[in-house]
């Protein structure tokens, strides 16, 4: 993939992580000057843009680039004086240099006025792959769209992260609006509900807050477990719920856990959440994962051979968001290295991804080794050179070389202020021992897998 192709893939990831308006406003007019997994040089139209992106969007760009390229790039924004051809659409004017038009809030700052987001065209029923782990939720969502307020009220969908809650809620909302274009639907994240309520209280504007939320036919609240942290808002939500419920208006809620397990949720809410149907999303089976990989590939126009799709589906069994990440990674890797997408290449790509997981610290390594060998942490970090300490210390250095990005100097520094040649020597010595000594190989292997499990 050329630099531009890599940037395209990164943009795709960024788009998934932002609200549509944010994406349109801030990323449509960003050009690319250089794009590799190590380095992104992006062209922006003016200084205001540059500062805004630097302040609010660097983390999301890094995260997205890591999803595609396997590592976190350095990012620079350069102001391009020429007018950028593709500016944001009329609905979201590009901000002016004076910073007057702040069209959308930065990520995380979801303020009022977003009750009917533009739904993602990707998050429809057609694009939702059904399998044993989500069949009930899917059927229930269809049913409430068919018979709102009558089939199941409320519909309470719960499941771990990345299992499709938001997708399903978007799908139901879109299908409901297609069938009932005149109806009033409110889709809101619980976080927005809480923020809007707090701000309504502050501005003495509760009446209009209530009108917006109670005068609706179909209320969808994503991530309702967020209410746990907002006691006062629970009371407000209780009344919202009662009003809608008594008027036979449909309510759909999603949560990361079942009602009774949401900490500090008032009992009267817990019991109301169970009045309708509580349905759980589980981790998808292998067959469903495979179907999802094929579905996503075709949606995005990727040509993915069957054995590669099977490999990806086998490799990631945690959740669907990670499954998509792995697919992106594999496709990106092929394009970046200008090779065709084959099974060996996919294996290489995902192996890198698993290795690239940061998060193991030198301390973690030292602790794991100290427990395993029964030596004190302070001895590993000290100057003593007796054999009983020297070998575990060398193992620490070897693992640190393998699992972290620290430099030789940093590793040496941590283990008693040793210089880089000592670290190189240790790394080399342990690598050779691993070839010949089964005991060491088992021990080091155990420590490494323990560390990667913990991270």
Binding footprint of Mg ion on the chain (CB under 5 A): 165-166
User: Closest CB to ligand ADP among 19 and 321?
Assistant: 321
Residue 71, H or E segment: none
Q: Does 325 bind ligand ADP (CB under 6 A)?
A: no
19 strand-pairing partners: none
Q: For residue 15, how far is the Cα from the chain centroid?
A: 12
User: Closest CB to ligand ADP among 320 and 399?
Assistant: 320
User: Closest CB to Mg ion among 200 and 220?
Assistant: 220
Q: For residue 442, how far is the Cα from the chain centroid?
A: 34
Is there a contact between 430 and 444 (Cβ–Cβ < 8 Å)? yes
Owner of token pair 């390594």: 365
User: Closest CB to Mg ion among 166 and 257?
Assistant: 166
Is there a contact between 279 and 140 (Cβ–Cβ < 8 Å)? yes
Which residues are CB-neighbours of 51 under 8 A, at least 6 positions away? none
Q: Which of 13, 24, 236, 324: binder of ligand ADP (CB under 6 A)?
A: 324
Range in contact with ligand ADP (rule: CB under 6 A) among 100-108, 154-162, 302-310, 394-402: 154-162
Is there a contact between 3 and 49 (Cβ–Cβ < 8 Å)? no
Residue 128 interacts with, from ligand ADP, Mg ion, none (CB under 5-8 Å by kind): ligand ADP
Residue 320 interacts with, from Mg ion, ligand ADP, none (CB under 5-8 Å by kind): ligand ADP
Which residues are CB-neighbours of 78 under 8 A, at least 6 positions away? 33, 41, 42, 43, 44, 50
Q: Does 165 bind ligand ADP (CB under 6 A)?
A: yes
Q: Does 272 bind ligand ADP (CB under 6 A)?
A: no
Pairing of strands 39-44, 31-35: antiparallel
Q: Closest residue to Mg ion, Cβ-based?
A: 166
Is there a contact between 254 and 226 (Cβ–Cβ < 8 Å)? no
Backbone angles phi, psi at 254, to 5 degrees: -125, 155
Backbone angles phi, psi at 70, to 5 degrees: 85, -5
Joined tokens for residue 148? 């709102």
Range in contact with ligand ADP (rule: CB under 6 A) among 101-109, 164-172, 177-185, 193-201: 164-172
Question: Is residue 392 helix, strand or coil?
Answer: helix
CA distances (Å), 402 to each of 71, 360, 393, 438, 451, in order? 15, 10, 14, 19, 12
Is there a contact between 250 and 219 (Cβ–Cβ < 8 Å)? yes
Residue 110 interacts with, from Mg ion, ligand ADP, none (CB under 5-8 Å by kind): none
Count of residues interacting with ligand ADP (CB under 6 A): 19
Q: Which of 320, 331, 400, 423: binder of ligand ADP (CB under 6 A)?
A: 320
User: Closest CB to ligand ADP among 259 and 412?
Assistant: 259
Backbone angles phi, psi at 388, to 5 degrees: -65, -25
Q: Does 65 bind ligand ADP (CB under 6 A)?
A: no
Rounded to a whole number of angstroms, the minimum distance from the CB of residue 346 to ligand ADP is 20
Q: Does 161 bind ligand ADP (CB under 6 A)?
A: yes
Q: Does 343 bind ligand ADP (CB under 6 A)?
A: no
Rounded to a whole number of angstroms, the minimum distance from the CB of residue 170 to ligand ADP is 8
Q: Which residues in 94-133 contact ligand ADP (CB under 6 A)?
A: 122-123, 127-129
Binding mask 279-298 for ligand ADP (x = CB under 6 A): -------------x--x---
Q: How far apart are CA 253 and CA 264, in angstroms?
A: 17
Q: Does 411 bind ligand ADP (CB under 6 A)?
A: no
User: Closest CB to ligand ADP among 144 and 163?
Assistant: 163
Q: How far apart are CA 277 and CA 250, in angstroms?
A: 12
Question: Is the sign of the CA dihedral 351, 353, 354, 359 positive or negative?
Answer: positive
Range in contact with ligand ADP (rule: CB under 6 A) among 5-13, 200-208, 319-327, 421-429: 319-327
Q: Does 321 bind ligand ADP (CB under 6 A)?
A: yes
Q: Does 142 bind ligand ADP (CB under 6 A)?
A: no
Specify burial of residue 211 (Cβ count, 10 A radius: 0-12, 13-18, 19+): exposed
User: Closest CB to ligand ADP among 43 and 251?
Assistant: 251
User: Closest CB to Mg ion among 123 and 333?
Assistant: 123
Rounded to a whole number of angstroms, the minimum distance from the CB of residue 59 to ligand ADP is 18
Joined tokens for residue 188? 């809101």
Residue 161 interacts with, from ligand ADP, Mg ion, none (CB under 5-8 Å by kind): ligand ADP
In the complex, which residues of this chain contact ligand ADP (CB under 6 A)? 122-123, 127-129, 134, 159, 161-167, 292, 295, 320-321, 324
């Amino acid at each position: 993939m050329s630099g531009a192709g890599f940037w395209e893939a990164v943009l795709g990831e960024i788009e998934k992580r932002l609200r549509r308006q944010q994406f349109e406003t801030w990323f449509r007019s960003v050009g690319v000057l250089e794009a590799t997994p190590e380095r992104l040089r992006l062209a922006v139209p003016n200084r205001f843009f540059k500062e805004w992106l630097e302040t609010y969007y660097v983390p999301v760009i890094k995260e997205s680039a890591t999803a595609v390229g396997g590592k976190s790039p350095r990012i620079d924004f350069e102001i391009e004086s020429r007018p950028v051809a593709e500016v944001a659409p009329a609905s979201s004017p590009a901000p002016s240099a004076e910073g007057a038009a702040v069209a959308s809030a930065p990520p995380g700052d979801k303020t009022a006025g977003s009750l009917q987001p533009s739904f993602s065209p990707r998050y429809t029923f057609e694009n939702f792959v059904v399998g044993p782990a989500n069949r009930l939720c899917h059927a229930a969502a269809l049913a409430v769209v068919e018979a709102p307020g009558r089939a199941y009220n409320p519909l309470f969908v719960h499941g771990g992260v990345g299992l499709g809650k938001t997708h399903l809620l978007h799908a139901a909302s879109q299908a409901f609006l297609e069938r009932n274009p005149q109806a009033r639907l409110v889709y809101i994240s619980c976080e927005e509900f809480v923020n809007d309520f707090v701000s309504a209280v502050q501005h003495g504007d509760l009446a209009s807050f209530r009108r917006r939320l109670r005068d609706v036919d179909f209320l969808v609240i994503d991530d309702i477990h967020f209410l746990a942290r907002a006691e006062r808002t629970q009371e407000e939500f209780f009344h919202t719920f009662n009003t809608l419920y008594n008027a036979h208006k449909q309510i759909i809620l999603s949560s990361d856990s079942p009602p009774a397990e949401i900490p500090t949720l008032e009992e009267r809410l817990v019991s109301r959440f169970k009045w309708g149907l509580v349905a759980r999303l589980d981790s998808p089976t292998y067959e469903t994962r495979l179907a999802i990989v094929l579905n996503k590939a075709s949606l995005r126009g990727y040509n993915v051979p069957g054995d590669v799709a099977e490999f990806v589906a086998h490799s990631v069994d945690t959740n669907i968001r990670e499954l998509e990440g792995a697919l992106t990674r594999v496709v990106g890797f092929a394009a970046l290295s200008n090779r065709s997408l084959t099974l060996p290449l996919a294996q290489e790509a995902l192996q890198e991804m698993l290795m690239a997981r940061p998060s193991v610290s030198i301390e973690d390594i030292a602790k794991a080794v100290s427990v395993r060998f029964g030596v004190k942490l302070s001895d590993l970090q000290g100057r003593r050179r007796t054999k009983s300490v020297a070998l575990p210390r060398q193992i620490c250095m070897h693992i640190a070389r393998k699992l972290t990005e620290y430099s030789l100097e940093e590793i040496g520094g941590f283990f008693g202020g040793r210089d880089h040649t000592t670290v190189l020597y240790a790394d080399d010595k342990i690598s050779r021992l691993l070839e010949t000594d089964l005991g060491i190989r088992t021990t080091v292997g155990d420590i490494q897998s323990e560390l990667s499990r913990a991270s």
